[in-house]
Amino acid sequence: MTTAARIAATLLTSTALASAASAQDEPLKIGVMLTLSGPAASLGEQARDGFLLAVENIKEIGGVPTEVIIVDDEQKPDVAANKARELVERDGADFVVGPIFSNIAMAIYKPVTEADAFLISPNAGPSPLAGAECNPNFFAVSYQNDQNHEVMGAYAQTQGYDNVFLMAPNYQAGKDSLAGFKHSYSGGEAGEIYTQLGQLDFSAELAQIAAMQPDALFTFMPGGMGVNLVKQYRQAGLETIPFLSAFTVDESTLPAQQDAAVGFYSGTNWAPDLDTPENRAFVAAYEETYGKVPASYAMHGYDAALLIDAAVRSVGGNLDDKGALRAALEAADFTSLRGDFSFGPNHFPVQDFYLAEVVKREDGNFQTSIVDKIFDDYSDSYAADCTME
């Protein structure tokens, strides 16, 4: 049994015993819907493991018996929508934590929120849900998709790059990534390509980059896509062209990329070496429990549990008063692992963002390391379009 499965089983067993001992108390039910199969499974596993670690530490979220139901969205919007309905209608989930991918978020937010449950995203932050389609029952503990990419646009601007090649997969988060980069970058473009989501062979695109010799490459390629791109980039001898990215070189992909990613840059709201007492304790506990370095997905999963815990405690465990529970979520009365954290009017975070670089640690593991703070208390650019009706 994996560590995550052991923790989940322990939680469910503890809940059953607590419920049997106090039958009048309805447990808090939390559905965790993440991509747990296929090339991007490592992303969902990190978010799941971070969430379960927090729940194990807290024991009873909000001081009430807690049941955690974990499901795999299979990275398929139609499958995810059906499973989301099952979580809220059949299983009675009060909260759904997920998903990883933005196309999944767009598929599940209505089934969850229309059932008057709360959807807490530990990663996906699609622009529609930050703006015109914002929802009172949707909260992102991560970021709006554009923002980490805006970090890299600002960095490219300060470096004086004027001929950047842009590449991302053709889905909502890919489109948001390039929009974010351009939001803070006004230089020229050597080219712009949207690849197929899930693409693993980049030989044609790398041949174009080699021919064009841009000032830099900016890319967003999460999961297995990023693993292959980074390896093929090195193999093609393109490392003299600066590699700028977000979600492409991080702790979920570095175990597979290893030395091929060293020195590559990423935009982020967090890194394992972010210096807060809570973060130092989290990283140490995560590495001891799971035997690997946590990624931002794990941090956001942990923070999602802290957010729910604080909100449920604030209302004294009364899950029926949705208005009070929503107000408690909006207050975000918890200490985020990343330090400064609050929600904007669209239920997306106001937080700091950093330039990070991939390094090899003395113990042989790889991680991202903060180089510089790029944005301070930064809000996304879609909040003004949110009316929260």
Give the model confidence (pLDDT) of 133-174 as tens digits: 999 999 999 999 999 999 999 999 999 999 999 999 998 889
The pTM score is 0.91
Equal CATH topology for 28-143+273-347 and 146-268 = yes
Q: Which one is the CATH code of 146-268: 1.10.3720.10, 3.20.20.70, 3.40.50.2300, 2.60.40.420?
A: 3.40.50.2300
Distance, CA of 28 to CA of 68 (rounded, Å): 8
Whole-number pLDDT of residue 7: 52
Q: Over the chain, what HEC string results?
A: CCHHHHHHHHHHHHHHHHHHHCCCCCCEEEEEEECCCCCCHHHHHHHHHHHHHHHHHHCCHHHCCEEEEEEECCCCHHHHHHHHHHHHHHCCCCEEECCCCHHHHHHHHHHHHCCCCEEEECCCCCHHHHCCCCCCCEEECCCCCHHHHHHHHHHHHHCCCCCEEEEEECCHHHHHHHHHHHHCCCCCEEEEEEECCCCCCCHHHHHHHHHHCCCEEEECCCCHHHHHHHHHHHHCCCCCCCEEECCCCCCCCHHHHHHHHCCCEEEECCCCCCCCHHHHHHHHHHHHHHCCCCCHHHHHHHHHHHHHHHHHHHCCCCCCCHHHHHHHHHHCCCCECCECCEECCCCCEEEEEEEEEEEECCCCCEEEEEEEEEEEEECCCCHHHCCCC
Which residues touch 306 (CB under 8 Å, ≥6 apart)? 54, 58, 334, 335, 336
What is the CATH superfamily name and number for domain 28-143+273-347? Response regulator (3.40.50.2300)
Tokens matching residue 26: 């309805």
The domain segmentation of the chain, as residue ranges, is 28-143+273-347, 146-268
Distance, CA of 144 to CA of 135 (rounded, Å): 14
Whole-number pLDDT of residue 24: 36
> Max alpha carbon distance in the chain (Å)?
70
pLDDT along the chain (389 residues), means of 10: 49 41 67 94 95 96 96 97 98 98 95 98 95 97 95 97 97 90 96 95 97 97 93 97 96 95 97 97 98 97 98 96 98 97 98 98 97 96 90
Length of the chain, please? 389
Give the distance from CA 191 to its chain's centroid: 28
Burial bucket for residue 203 (CB in 10 Å: 0-12, 13-18, 19+)? exposed
Integer angstrom CA distances of residue 367 from 141, 151, 221, 278: 22, 19, 17, 18
Whole-number pLDDT of residue 2: 53
For 304-354, the pLDDT digits (tens) are 999 999 999 999 999 999 999 999 999 999 999 999 999 999 999 999 999
| CB-based contacts of 253-257 (< 8 A; 24+ apart in sequence) | 253/42, 253/222, 253/223, 253/226, 253/227, 254/293, 254/358, 254/366, 254/367, 254/368, 255/292, 255/366, 256/227, 257/226, 257/227, 257/230, 257/231, 257/366
